[in-house]
Amino acid sequence: MNKPIVADNKPIPVDLKSGENYYFCACGKSASQPFCDGSHKGTDFTPIAFTAEENGKAYLCQCKQTGKLPFCDGSHAKIPADQVGKEFAFESKGNADAAPES
């Protein structure tokens, strides 16, 4: 398994506490989304540790494609519903750092 599983194609709102440490599930296999439950064992994935910077609601990624881990960046909108529960990764653009065509 080298692609994460799409846990869902929408973010999940969670209440975070300032200064508290969390472990975000990067593999998509956790039954406790969006947090790690140890299900990544045997995969190439490890959880992403982060510390909440403020109290309050945050929308964490469940599609596992966000560029702003662990927070939703809207990438889920490009994932078809039939990919939920399956391994998925956007095709690499290969030349993402190239200057835009003029």
State yes or no: residue 47 binds ligand FES (CB under 6 A): yes
The answer to whether residue 39 forms part of the interface with ligand FES (CB under 6 A) is: yes
Q: Is 34 in the site for ligand FES (CB under 6 A)?
A: no
Q: Which is nearer to ligand FES, 9 or 34 (CB)?
A: 34
Q: Stretches 37-45, 67-75, 83-91, 94-102: which one binds ligand FES (CB under 6 A)? A: 37-45
The residue from 8, 22, 26, 63 that contacts ligand FES (CB under 6 A) is 26
Place of tokens 């194609």: 9
Nearer to ligand FES, 40 or 76 (CB): 40
Q: Which stretch binds ligand FES (CB under 6 A): 10-18, 23-31, 55-63, 78-86?
A: 23-31
Instruction: In whole angstroms, give the CA distance from residue 74 to residue 76.
Output: 5
